[in-house]
Amino acid sequence: MQVKGVIDSINFGSESFEYLFNKEDYIIETVKDLAIFNPKRWSETFGKALTKNIIEAKIIHTSMGLVIPLKRYAVKPQRQIIEFTGLYGYNDKSKLLRQLLQELLEQLKNSYIVRIDIAIDFKGKVPNKIIKSLCKHREAFNPNGWNTTYYKTKTEKKTNATIDIKKYNKAKKANLSYELDRLEFVFKGQYLNKLQYKDVSKIFKKMKKSIKKFSGISIKIDSF
């Protein structure tokens, strides 16, 4: 029996994405560049701090009320990153975000994928046998009783450049009326290895094997 997984978030990298939004339906707001620095605006919009390694930050505002982050990092200043986060969030915003992404995919096909988050949802709690399988390979990290538990290798510190694994109460995050846990596998740039979106289906087999290895779950990945 296969469990369904969905692409909840996907980040693309290219020289620039701003040409995609040079239309009346969009406004691009600069939050950080050489002349502007407004970290409060970023944190108010996305609920996250504007970290020091981000050298350029912009917010795309759509006529549908969506806000999408655009970033450049100091490590690769020639590459702009666009993030589509929360594609399956159990709300209208997620539906609109999927709709927008669908409209843009043809123009994004030659862009590199720098991150893909595969989400697997469970009514109630993630089964204990899956947790035990995860803990054979990684250590659970949740020292302060956070909503999110991270599964880390013994050598990694804050982040893993290849795969992050985490579990959290999605019902709490999405304000659902029923219990729902989410297990998420975050595949990073080193894992994706300069993969263009037009070739994304080629990485699914490898991702499925990795998820099976860590969790014991046989997964079918649904695209957008």
Question: Would you write out the chain's pLDDT as a tens digit for each of its 224 residues?
Answer: 579 999 999 999 999 999 999 999 999 999 999 999 999 999 999 999 999 999 999 999 999 999 999 999 999 999 999 999 999 999 999 999 999 999 999 999 999 999 999 999 999 999 999 999 999 989 998 877 788 999 998 888 777 889 999 999 999 988 899 999 999 999 999 999 999 999 998 899 999 999 999 999 999 988 76
Q: How many domains does the chain have?
A: 1
- Comparing C-alpha atoms, which of 12, 81, 30 is closest to residue 53? 81
Tell me which residue range forms the domain holding 147: 3-222
- Residue 160: what pLDDT? 82
Give the CA count within 13 Å in the CB-facing half-sphere of 187: 23
- Contacts of 112 by beta carbon, 8 Å cutoff, 6+ apart: 12, 13, 14, 192, 194, 195, 196, 197
- Residue 170: what pLDDT? 94
Residue 49 tokens read as: 């701090």
- Residue 186: what pLDDT? 97
Residue 202 tokens read as: 């080629």
For residues 57 and 38, give the distance between their C-alpha atoms in angstroms, rounded to a whole number. Answer: 9
Strand pairing category for 3-14 and 219-222 = parallel
- Residue 224: what pLDDT? 67
Report the amino acid identity of residue 3: V
- Residue 2: what pLDDT? 78
